[in-house]
Amino acid sequence: MTVARTVELEGHIIDSGMMQQCFGVVMDLGGNFDVEEFEVGEHKDAESYCRMTVTADDEDSLREILHELNQHGAHLSNPPNATLKPAPGDRVVPHGFYSTTNHPTKVRYEDEWLPVENIEMDCAVVVKPADEDSDDAPRAYTKVLNAIEEGDLVVADEAGVRVDPPERPRGSSGPFGFMQGGVSAERPSGSLIREIAEAIAETKADGGSVLAVAGPAVIHAGAGDALARLVREGYVDMLSAGNGFAVHDLERGQYGTSLGMDVETMESPRKGHKHHIYTISEIIRAGGIEEAVEQGLVEEGVMYECVENDAPYVLAGSIRDDGPLPDTITDAVEAQNAIREQAHEADLVIMLSTLLHSVAVGNCLPSTTKVVCVDINPATVTQLLDRGSAQAIGMVTDVGTFVPKLAEVLVEE
C-alpha cells in the first residue's frame, strides 16, 4: 500500500537547481516519483515544466516529502484550500503547523491565493478572515511563536501553501550578478569592494534603504569615522547594533572632543575599561544618546551622525553588556521586534563584524533582500550566507580597511 500525490514545477527549474533538489528530496526521504510530463525550455530564456506523481509508503512520509518539495518550489496540482487550526493557547501552535521558509509564500484561502505578509523564516502563518463589518479583505501574515494568541487561525500542513523560491540571478543580470551567493577568498579585494559600492549606490538610486549591522570591532579596527561618514552622506539609513558598539563609539566621541583626551593616546595605553563604564554613566546622567548629543557631550561618531541625520538605530542588549545605556533594549523579545521592523524595511543589509546581531537580523529577512556580509573570520561569513538569502555576498576581509575604502569609493567616485 502506498500513497501518492501529483506535484508540478515550472520556471527555470533545471539551471536554478530546483529540479535537482526536488528529485533529491524524494529520494532522500525514501519516496519514488513518476514523471508524467516534462517540457524542457528549449533555450536559455525559456521556462520548463514538469509534472510528476510522488509516491510514499504512508501518509506521514508523504507529508514530509511534500513539505520539502513545497519549500523548494514544487506545488501540488489542484491545490486545496489551506487547513486552518486555532492556536490552542497563547504562544502555542497547533500540531502540524506550517513553518515558514524565508521565500515569498502564498496560502490558499476560500479558493484564492493570499500572499503571506512580512515573510520570514521559522514562523507560523495566521489567516485573518474577511471582516464583514469593516469590509476588510482576508489577510495572511507571519507570526513568531511568542506572538501567537489563543484562537489565531494557524495554517497547518503543506496543502494550500505555495512557496516561490527566487531563482538565483545568473550571469551579469542585476547588481548582485557578480557573485552568486558564495564566499570568494580568491577574488581581488579591490574589485569586490567596488562592486559592493555599486550595489549600495544602485539601491540608493532606486529609493531603497540600507541597513548597517555593526559590531564593536568596527570601532576597534578604526573604521568608526568611515561608517559615520556613510551615515552622514546618506549611504546608510539605519543602524542595528549592540550596547558595546554604541559605548565604544560614544567613548571615542565623548573623550575625543569634550574631555580633551587624544583619541590615539587613549587607545594605545592600557585598557582603560574605566572610561568605558564612565561613558555609560555619563550618557545615563544625560538621559540617553540623543540628549547627550543635544547637550554637546558627544560631538562626533556613528551614534552622533545617526542622531543628527535621523537615521534610526536599534541597540539590542546582551548578557555581556556593561551598563547598559538607556537606549539599549534589554529584553530579547522586545529587541527582536525592533530588529524585525528594521529588517522588513531594508532593501540592502550590510553586516559588519558581528555574528550575534547579523544572525538576529538575518532571521527576519525575506530571501529577496540583498545582503553583504563582511568579517575577518571565514566561518562567520559562511554561517551567515548559509541562512538562505538568494542575493547574498560574503567577503572575508578586515573591516578596518574595508569600510574606509568603501566610503572612499562611494563618496568620492
Shortest distance, position 195 Cβ to a copy of itself, whole Å: 11
Tell me the C-alpha to C-alpha distance, in Å, between residue 80 and each of 84, 115, 157. 12, 16, 11
How far is it, in rounded angstroms, from Cα 65 to Cα 22? 9
CA 169 to the chain's CA centroid: 18
Shortest distance, position 324 Cβ to a copy of itself, whole Å: 7
First to last CA, the chain: 68
Task: State the cell numbers at 386.
Answer: 548559509
Nearer Cβ to a copy of itself (15/341): 15
Shortest distance, position 254 Cβ to a copy of itself, whole Å: 13
Shortest distance, position 46 Cβ to a copy of itself, whole Å: 9
Nearer Cβ to a copy of itself (307/384): 384
Shortest distance, position 17 Cβ to a copy of itself, whole Å: 5
- Contact 210/203 with Cβ under 8 angstroms? yes
Shortest distance, position 202 Cβ to a copy of itself, whole Å: 19
What type of residue sits at position 5?
R
Q: At what angle do helices 399-412 and 189-205 cross, to 10 degrees?
A: 50
Shortest distance, position 137 Cβ to a copy of itself, whole Å: 28
- For residue 180, the 8-state DSSP code is S
- Using CB atoms within 10 A of its CB, is residue 278 exposed (0-12), middle (13-18) or buried (19+)? middle
Shortest distance, position 26 Cβ to a copy of itself, whole Å: 7
Sequence-separated (6 or more) residues with CB below 8 Å from residue 60: none
How far is it, in rounded angstroms, from Cα 307 to Cα 286? 15
How far is it, in rounded angstroms, from Cα 332 to Cα 356? 12
Shortest distance, position 353 Cβ to a copy of itself, whole Å: 11
Nearer Cβ to a copy of itself (303/361): 361
Q: Which of 363, 357, 370, 361 is nearest to 320 (CA)?
A: 357
Nearer Cβ to a copy of itself (181/404): 404
Nearer Cβ to a copy of itself (337/368): 337
Question: At 233, is the secondary structure helix, strand, or coil?
Answer: coil
Nearer Cβ to a copy of itself (63/208): 63
Radius of gyration (C-alpha) of the chain in whole angstroms:
24
How far is it, in rounded angstroms, from Cα 239 to Cα 303? 9
Nearer Cβ to a copy of itself (208/388): 388
Nearer Cβ to a copy of itself (111/412): 412
Nearer Cβ to a copy of itself (28/294): 28
Torsional class of 167: left (φ above 0), alpha (ψ -120 to 50), beta (otherwise): beta
